[in-house]
């Protein structure tokens, strides 16, 4: 069975700082990778996804993620965070049956 | 396009009581998922439906949890009897056939006292 690890549980940044959130998965076959975001009081929303092709994918609100197959990683990045990026971020992987396996999440707090 | 609807949004019950959650997916989405999200953890799949058939219920505690999706549209998840460790947010999600992208509802926050 696949699993997802997010090593940063709580990250605190100042506005304009750069962000990188780690995500590693364990699964030997073809995977589809996702980052979801949950803003305070809101439901889970898709931030970006990788299925195949260019390993650098761009999502909404200036986020991007890079799939590195050799490292089983799919790290999320943003060059300059804003206060409105304060949220919880979840990495997830889907295989054949399409149900998602989520990491434990990273709580990002951006200070103005 | 209307999103995934869930009700109730909040529920407080005592242990050993029963509770039911309802989900209405996005129109045309044949696949429906129920996830359990315990505080501090990521969502964990409980059950996946394709139309009104079960695709995966391997992580559903079948001694107390049950789910159905009559007519392949809305779905109900039931817990009977509830335990303290069932306190969590129960998320419903749906997706189009053959599509990985899932859309989530707002969730039902269950507190068992």
Q: Identify the residue with better confidence: A65 or B70.
A: A65
* pLDDT of B37 strictly over 90: yes
Instruction: Quote the pLDDT of residue B1.
Output: 62
Q: Identify the residue with better confidence: B65 or A30.
A: B65
Whether residue A67 contacts residue A53, with contact meaning beta carbons closer than 8 Å, is answered with: no
Q: Mean pLDDT for chain B?
A: 94
Residue A51: its chain B contacts at CB < 8 A? 100
Q: Does B72 touch chain A (CB under 8 A)?
A: no
Instruction: Quote the pLDDT of residue B2.
Output: 79
Instruction: Find the CATH number of the domain harbouring B92.
Output: 2.60.40.10
End-to-end, the C-alpha distance of chain A in Å comes to 41
Domain membership of residue B28 as a residue range: 5-112
Instruction: Find the CATH number of the domain harbouring A85.
Output: 2.60.40.10
pLDDT digits (tens, 9 = 90+) for B1-19: 679 999 999 999 999 999 9
Q: Mean pLDDT for chain A?
A: 93
- Closest of A67, A65, A14 to residue A37, by C-alpha: A65
Q: What total number of domains does chain B contain?
A: 1
Instruction: Quote the pLDDT of residue B20.
Output: 98
The mean per-residue pLDDT over the stretch A59-73 comes to 95
Whether residue A8 contacts residue A91, with contact meaning beta carbons closer than 8 Å, is answered with: no
Instruction: Quote the pLDDT of residue A1.
Output: 73
Residue to substitute from A30, A100, A105, A107, interface B, most B β-carbons within 10 A: A100
Q: How would DSSP label each residue in B11-39?
A: EEE-TT--EEEEEE--TT--EEEEEEE-T
Structure tokens at A20: 């990188």
Task: Please tell me which residue of chain B has the smallest CA distance to A44.
Answer: B104
Q: What total number of domains does chain A contain?
A: 1
Of A22-26, A27-31, A96-100, B78-82, the poorest mean pLDDT is in A96-100
Instruction: Quote the pLDDT of residue B29.
Output: 93
Domain membership of residue A65 as a residue range: 3-33+42-96+104-111
* pLDDT of A95 strictly over 90: no
Structure tokens at B18: 């029963």
């Amino acid at each position: 069975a696949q699993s997802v690890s997010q090593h940063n549980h709580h990250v605190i940044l100042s506005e304009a700082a750069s962000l990188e959130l780690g995500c590693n998965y364990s699964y030997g076959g073809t995977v589809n990778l996702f980052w979801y975001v949950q803003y305070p009081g809101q439901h889970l929303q898709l931030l970006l996804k990788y299925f195949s092709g260019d390993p650098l994918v761009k999502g909404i609100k200036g986020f991007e993620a890079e799939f590195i197959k050799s490292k089983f990683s799919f790290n999320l990045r943003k060059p300059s965070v804003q206060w409105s990026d304060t949220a919880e971020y979840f990495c997830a992987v889907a295989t054949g049956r399409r149900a998602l396996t989520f990491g434990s999440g990273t709580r990002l707090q951006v200070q103005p | 396009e209307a999103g995934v609807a869930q009700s109730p949004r909040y529920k407080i019950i005592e242990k050993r009581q029963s509770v039911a959650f309802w989900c209405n997916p996005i129109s045309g989405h044949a696949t429906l998922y129920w996830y359990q999200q315990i505080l501090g953890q990521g969502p964990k799949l409980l059950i996946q439906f394709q139309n009104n058939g079960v695709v995966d219920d391997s992580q559903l505690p079948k001694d107390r949890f049950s789910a159905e999706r009559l007519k392949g549209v809305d779905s109900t998840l039931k817990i009977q009897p509830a335990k303290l460790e069932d306190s969590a947010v129960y998320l419903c999600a749906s997706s189009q056939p053959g599509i990985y992208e899932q859309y989530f509802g707002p969730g039902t926050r269950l507190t068992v006292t």
